[in-house]
Amino acid sequence: MYLKYVAGKGSVILLNQIKWVKSSEIAIPEIQRPFVWNATKVRNLLDSLYQGYPVGYLIAWRNPTVKLKDGTTSVGKRILIDGQQRVTALMAALLGREVLSKDYNTVRIKIAFHPIEERFEVSNPAIRKDAAWIADVAEVFSPEASLTELTDLYAEKNPDTDRRRISRVLEKLRKIIYNHVGIIELADDLDIETVTEIFIRVNSAGAELSQADFAMSKIAVNEKYGGNLLRKAIDYFCHCAVEPDFLSRIEKSDKLFASSEFFPIMRWLKDTNDDLYDPTYTDMLRVAFTSQFKRGKLQDLVALLSGRNFETKQYEEVIAESSFERLKEGIVAFMNQTHFERLTMILRSAGFVISNLIGSRNAVNFAYIVYLRGRAEKIPADELGRLVRRWYAMSILTSRYTGSPETAFDLDIRQIETHGLTIYADAVIESELPESFWVGMLPQLMDTSSSISPYFIAYQAAQTKLGDKGFLSRDITVLDLLLNRSDVHHVYPRNHLKKQGLSRGQYNQIANFVLAQSEINIAIGDKAPEQYFTELAEQCSGGKKRYGGITDLEQMRENLRMHCIPESMLDGDIPSYGDFLEQRRKLMAQKIKTWFEVL
């Protein structure tokens, strides 16, 4: 499929591949990241090699030829585009190298071998006690290992075995490092876009990969400009944001990184338990790259890190060096405690108080870019906070970064660069959210049953920001309910509507949802709105208190207004379900508008 991109195709013995890795002739970017194969897959790979089965091709690409400062050229090392996990597995199993687990624990993968049955298995305590097994095949491949001594030792522990046969089996095992494995080398003059596309496509059978994955691989293999440490900084920050205790493990197990300039910058994470925005490495790259380079497409980052001059189409060392430095500045700015906490504070001040209300990760990422850009332009803190809140709200209401986020990022950052942040942001908001949006488009967009729709998220943020009480609650606020425990109550109860033959998509409309205390939700149960609204009116006229603590009629009406429910329902005017939804969508849209105007 990729023959026109291939510079060479052939095979190489496994031993040479291992030598290449050890000498850094070929780079395995993923060696510094969590190893995603489980031990069983490693066992199966060794068995395939032992049986002589094909184990697939490796695909390598040599970095572009880069022009050095003195005018000479430098040929880069190979990057393993496909086969990283296989080679890492072999290094772990045959050489006894430790790998990082998904939990960032350093582990040894030990594969056992049964010479009599010629069978591999993942080593375990029972196997280690059984003399018939060699508990760790790495012992067989150790440079100091003697085939004669290995055979004698095994025969001594298993006296009834055929010593000559065991010797032949162990020799066959040792010879798997002389197996030929196919290797395809991509032409070194391929443009970055093509190599990126190949990288993503050939890896698509496994975990879904992206431009960010390739960029991370590109960063990891660079030691000259500190890419290897930068890669760790990105990975470690993301992991520590979720698991702050991991910082102490870094300090103990990775002393080189702990002594780097990055570790003190992220040390503040050990005292945080905030999960409002737990970034991935893709998020960090997007924010750092776009804010520093004023570009939105990550394939451009790979090109710049390779030293590409977009004007001459050549590769220059000075551009690679500058690009790594600028990316580092962007990552450091991202990790800065003041910046990060200020962003989350701004989001909370808009009503997005829990992670469940953060629906669009890319909208948060661009909000962070707006914040960093605003600081660079020295916009006053209060004004910048208002700008970020309004831009983020506009982004989620219009799904600005949902379809093609990189294209949207690229357009917005270039326009900001041309016109300035405040002028451009005000122009976009005015254009995207005219009066017709609030009265015409938004009510129609709210015709959905998705509880994670951006419109229901914005509505909950609006109720939080505006200080609304929970449905039928006298004292408990929507904020209290979101931070603790709340039920999403159906104003027209679900089972009541199901009995009328309505489908899930009909009775689960977001315009039928309110946030309520569990006890209120339970008390209402499946009662028809005609019944429980009559009882609510009685509750406010000296009758039995059935639902919540409100007993004053005006307070009850105010509570219904907070939840965009027609007050007339208290007077016995219960609309049909369809009419209720239509009325409430318009009222909810107006509440969201009121919220946006006070951001």
Mean pLDDT to the nearest integer, 50-68: 71
Same domain, 241 and 185: no
Point out which residues pair with 114 in neighbouring strands: 119
Q: Is the pLDDT of residue 273 over 80?
A: yes
Q: In what order do the strands lie in the sheet with 6-13?
A: 6-13, 180-186, 58-62, 78-82, 26-27
pLDDT in tens, 283-296: 999 999 999 999 99
Structure-block tokens of residue 472? 């039928």
Q: At what angle do helices 227-242 and 317-335 cross, to 10 degrees?
A: 20
For residue 7, name the pLDDT band (cuts at 50, 70, 90). very low
Question: How confident is the model at residue 1, as a pLDDT?
Answer: 40
CA distance 295 to 417: 10
Same domain, 181 and 234: no
Split into its structural domains, the chain has a count of 3
CA distance 452 to 217: 33
Does a structural domain hold residue 144? yes
Of 517, 445, 514, 521, residue with least CA distance to 481: 517
CA distance 132 to 109: 20
Q: Which of the two residues, 47 and 179, has the higher pLDDT score?
A: 47
Structure-block tokens of residue 89? 């597995």
* Mode of pairing for the β-strands spanning 180-186 and 58-62: parallel
All residues at 6 or more sequence positions from 221 whose CB lies less than 8 Å from its CB, including other chains: 27, 29, 77, 79, 227, 228
Q: Which H helix or E strand runs over 465?
A: helix 454-465
Q: Which of the two residues, 179 and 175, has the higher pLDDT score?
A: 175
Question: How confident is the model at residue 56, as a pLDDT?
Answer: 73
Of 473, 494, 501, 496, residue with least CA distance to 485: 473
Same domain, 332 and 468: no
Question: How confident is the model at residue 25, as a pLDDT?
Answer: 62
CA distance 304 to 98: 33
* pLDDT averaged over every residue in the chain: 87
Question: How confident is the model at residue 199, as a pLDDT?
Answer: 66
For the chain, give the percent of residues with pLDDT over 90.
65
Of the three residues 195, 230, 262, the one that is the final residue of a domain is: 195
Same domain, 316 and 420: yes
Question: How confident is the model at residue 552, as a pLDDT?
Answer: 94
Query: Does residue 81 sit in helix, strand or coil?
Result: strand
Same domain, 504 and 409: no
Q: Which of the two residues, 500 and 198, has the higher pLDDT score?
A: 500
Question: How confident is the model at residue 336, as a pLDDT?
Answer: 97
pLDDT in tens, 541-579: 999 999 999 999 999 999 999 999 999 999 999 999 999
Same domain, 401 and 471: no
Same domain, 457 and 543: yes
CA distance 558 to 573: 17
Q: Which domain holds residue 252?
A: 220-434
Question: How confident is the model at residue 31, as a pLDDT?
Answer: 38
Q: Among 183-197, 202-216, 383-397, 525-539, where is mean pLDDT lowest?
A: 202-216
Question: How confident is the model at residue 220, as a pLDDT?
Answer: 79
CA distance 320 to 311: 15
Question: How confident is the model at residue 407, as a pLDDT?
Answer: 93
Same domain, 594 and 455: yes
Does a structural domain hold residue 201? no
Burial 391-406 (b: 16+ CB within 10 A, else e): bbbbbbbbbbbeeebb
Same domain, 418 and 456: no
CB 391 within 8 A of CB 362: no
Give the gyration radius of the chain's Cα atoms: 31
Q: Is the pLDDT of residue 534 over 70?
A: yes
Distances (CA, A) of 65 to 7, 381, 425: 14, 46, 41
For residue 116, name the pLDDT band (cuts at 50, 70, 90). very high
Does a structural domain hold residue 215? no
